[in-house]
Chain A
Amino acid sequence: MKQVIRSGFLALLTVAATGIGVALAGDHRYTAPSPTVKAECGSCHIAYPPQLLPARSWRALMSDLEKHFGTDASLDPQTTATITAFLEQNAGRERSFSVQPVLRISDTRWFVHEHDEVSSSVWKSPKVKSPSNCAACHSNAEQGDFSEHNVHIPK
């Protein structure tokens, strides 16, 4: 009997946790990038939704664009300021307690949780290559639409 109660309680907890996860993730639609953000951030990768990192992470990234994940993504000061302001204004809330800001969206606990059912073979697929390649599976990623309906994992 005790066992039944315990498993029932666990099941309830799971349902509650899933519910919270969905509520937090919302409908997976985010702020579309401004024209400057789309043109500049979007030339090497998709212009990632600003909500996916907190403001201090964006500030850290934008202050070191010469060394941007191994490549030089430097911009003129005016464009840097315009983009930083957009990212700060639309940033997600801080969820990390670490001293160092999280710099990769794919390192956030949220990202790991959302993608926990994606097998390692998908990440290694030549059509995906890297977790930075959102558009490989999220067909409308460029427009900030990450809804589950528009996920197509390449074969």
Chain B
Amino acid sequence: MHRSPIFPLVAAVAFLVTASAAAETPADFQRSFETSARKEAAGFAGFSAQRGAAFFKTTHGREWSCASCHTQNPTAPGRHAKTDKPITPLAPVANAERFTRPDKVEKWFRRNCNDVLGRACTASEKGDVLAYLMAIGK
């Protein structure tokens, strides 16, 4: 049997495409939040790093804010407010692993929004927070 010499190349490209679908960049998440935010509100006018910072640093009717564990400076390591377990920095500039895995991003927004707000975050809120985190160090 004679296999086309192009086969290994096709296989390599297919692998790279699959791998890149699993590992994303913060900008990919931002685009996805934007698509959802446009569906949430017809008048969506873009994300705001300033709004995201305020959202991140203040409480929302409950005990904790995002900063309770991630600190007021997301380039610094944080600590779990209850167990004191160290948390690696959240800002992508300080931690290249942040906002690269869809399963992790989904899991932690789901849990932490529930803890901080008692509900799911809107796409607009997530986009604002990510805009804030992405703006740090730029």
Contact = CB atoms under 8 A, between A and B. Distances in A.
Interface of A: 43-46, 66, 69-76, 128-130, 132-133, 135-136
B80 A45 contact: yes
Contacts of A69: 82
B31 interface: no
B24 interface: no
Given A44-B80, A45-B80, A74 B85 contact: no
Contacts of B103: 76
B83 A45 contact: yes
Interface residues of B, number: 12
25 contacts: A44-B80, A44-B85, A45-B80, A45-B85, A46-B85, A69-B82, A70-B82, A71-B111, A71-B115, A72-B110, A72-B114, A72-B115, A73-B111, A74-B107, A74-B110, A75-B107, A76-B103, A76-B107, A129-B82, A129-B83, A130-B83, A132-B82, A133-B85, A135-B85, A136-B84
Main secondary structure of the interface of B (DSSP, over half): helix
Contacts of B112: 72
Interface of B: 80, 82-85, 103, 107, 110-112, 114-115
B114 A129 contact: no
Given A130-B82, A132-B83, 9 more contacts: A44-B82, A45-B80, A46-B85, A72-B114, A74-B107, A74-B110, A133-B83, A135-B85, A136-B84
Contacts of A70: 82
Q: What 8 A-B pairs have minimum CB-CB distances, sorted nearest first? A: A72-B114, A45-B83, A72-B111, A129-B84, A133-B84, A132-B83, A71-B115, A44-B80
Nearest to B111: A72
A44 B107 CA distance: 13
Nearest to B108: A43
A45 B85 CA distance: 6
Nearest to A67: B114
A135 to B, nearest CB: 8
B131 to A, nearest CB: 24
Nearest to B69: A44
Contacts of B82: 44, 69-71, 129-130, 132
Contacts of A132: 82-83
A128 B79 CA distance: 12
B84 A130 contact: yes
A72 B111 CA distance: 5
